Amino acid sequence: MASRKRSLPMKDGPPAASKLTRAAGKSHVAALVLARGGSKGIPLKNIKMLAGVPLLGWVLRAAVDSEMFDSVWVSTDHDEIEKVAKSWGAKVHRRSPEVSRDSSTSLETIQEFVRINPEIDVVCNIQATSPCLHPFHLTEALEMITQQDYDSVFSVVRRHQFRWQEVKKGSGEITKPLNLDPSSRPRRQDWDGELCENGSFYFTTRDNLVTKGLLQGSKVAYYEMLPEYSVDIDVDIDWPVAEQRVLRYGYFGRATPEVVRLMFCNVSGCLTEGRIFLSKSGEEMVSVHTRDTAGIRMLQKENMEVVLLTSKVDSVSRSLADALARRTGCEVVEVGDEPLDDLRPMVETRKLGWKDVAYMGVDSQDVDCLNLAGLSAVPRDAPMVAVNATKYTCRRAGGAGAVREFAEHILLQREKAKAQTQQHRIDRRHF
């Protein structure tokens, strides 16, 4: 199963009617991500790129796509974090200096936020450093408040770790076990383990925060997440491990990767590096990386149609595209200053939605398509206006394997989606 939900303590009988359900249409549920600029472990950690997306973007995407929140906010004291937050669809709460110090607590910051926004009834504090959060986690946890009348719900993960009492060096004390009997060590399969907060999110009501000064109080419940989704980043050494986990278990948007059948790819800037070479005779030339053509063939082998896009004012890229079309069988389409106007009819003709489309662009004219496409990417060297609009930023630059990287990303997401569908069917058979 993807998750387990439990109350603390468990109570017999059906849950009472929710206070928020009774006030349907009047309650305001807000998501709040705390993202201070003064991280000591990793400078500006909250907007550092992780698997092609700013760290903050992973949780904001999950919050927005859950469609469970009346508003999604980022609380910050930093201009660059504010820009990234807004580009991912969040509102910004500029926290005061009093709650921006190293000694400031999360509770103090959240309390300031709800005092400034009196219309908010329930707050979900989402941790920016939990990039494997999915919309369904938030949806199921919030339902425990809106439908089951809990006042606080927080995320946990099950750990199977034996703990021992710490002994100070030189004290002469003997350590003692804290959660096991050494004479009868249980096997993992015979031990339920322990529930530990994973910090991904904390739902609570205004009354808990303002009146009682608690993040977890009154009628409390936990929401159990599987270990693969319980990723936290604190120091640099966590980063490469988290990146691999996110590529496998992260949430990349509403796309249905297993049925994506169409990819649009800009030639200039994606398949080329953006430079034009001039021969001695004045002939213009560009180059394309063999990795990228191999990436196109990888997609075609999986029955995905690849359409190469060229500009009406770029004759060199058109010539290259025609040459690639002869080698790969791709269709070549000329687009104007607004590619969406030219591509929308092609999507409709194929009876697809934009969520079923992959798009690779490189500049401001591609922003609309990057936003609409279910899977989208830009090369590493794309300008920020395109980076902020895309769902994945490649580690490789244009003309240096970026298209191949995006192709591998698409196929990985398809494989992941199929595995999740299969697991869901297995889970259903257990009920």
For residue 239, what is the domain's CATH number?
3.90.550.10
Where b means 16+ CB within 10 Å and e means fewer, 116-142 reads ebeebbbbbbbbbbbbbbbbebbebbb
Instruction: Single out the residue of 105, 107, 139, 137 nearest to residue 125, CA to CA.
Output: 107
Instruction: Single out the residue of 135, 13, 23, 129 nearest to residue 72, CA to CA.
Output: 135
pLDDT band for 242, please (50, 70, 90 cuts): confident
Question: Is pLDDT at 4 greater than 50 in this prediction?
Answer: no
The answer to whether position 394 is within a domain reads yes
| Matching residue, tokens 């929710």 | 18
Residue 143 sits in the same domain as residue 271: no
Residue 28 sits in the same domain as residue 119: yes
Residues 113-134 pLDDT 10s: 999 999 999 999 999 999 999 9
- Kind and range of the H or E element at 346? helix 339-349
Question: Is pLDDT at 95 greater than 70 in this prediction?
Answer: yes
The answer to whether position 122 is within a domain reads yes
**Residue 88 domain boundaries:** 3-162+190-247
Output the pLDDT for position 222: 96
Output the pLDDT for position 415: 79
Residue 319 sits in the same domain as residue 348: yes
Question: Is pLDDT at 408 greater than 90 in this prediction?
Answer: yes
Residue 227 sits in the same domain as residue 307: no
The answer to whether position 77 is within a domain reads yes
Residues 346-396 pLDDT 10s: 999 999 888 889 999 999 999 999 988 988 999 999 998 898 888 888 989
Residue 143 sits in the same domain as residue 198: yes
Residue 31 sits in the same domain as residue 147: yes
Question: Is pLDDT at 182 greater than 50 in this prediction?
Answer: yes
Question: Is pLDDT at 2 greater than 80 in this prediction?
Answer: no
Q: By three-state DSSP, how is residue 407 classified?
A: helix
Question: Is pLDDT at 52 greater than 50 in this prediction?
Answer: yes
Query: Residues 122, 27: contact at Cβ < 8 Å?
Result: yes
pTM summary value = 0.69
Residue 279 sits in the same domain as residue 366: yes
Residue 139 sits in the same domain as residue 270: no
Residue 239 sits in the same domain as residue 268: no
The answer to whether position 387 is within a domain reads yes
Residue 243 sits in the same domain as residue 278: no
Residue 317 sits in the same domain as residue 374: yes
Output the pLDDT for position 237: 67
Query: For residue 96, what are the contacts with CB-CB under 8 A and spacing of at least 6?
Result: 112
Annotation marks residue 6 as catalytic: no
Lowest mean pLDDT among 57-61, 117-121, 199-203, 260-264: 260-264
Residues 8-28 pLDDT 10s: 433 333 333 344 543 444 689
Catalytic one of 185, 254, 327, 350: 185
Q: What is the mean pLDDT of the chain?
A: 85
Q: How many domains does the chain have?
A: 2
Residue 83 sits in the same domain as residue 49: yes
Helix 238-249 to helix 402-428 angle (10° resolution) is 60
Residue 64: C-alpha distances to residues 58, 88, 184 (Å): 10, 9, 48
Return the CATH number at 315: 3.40.50.1000
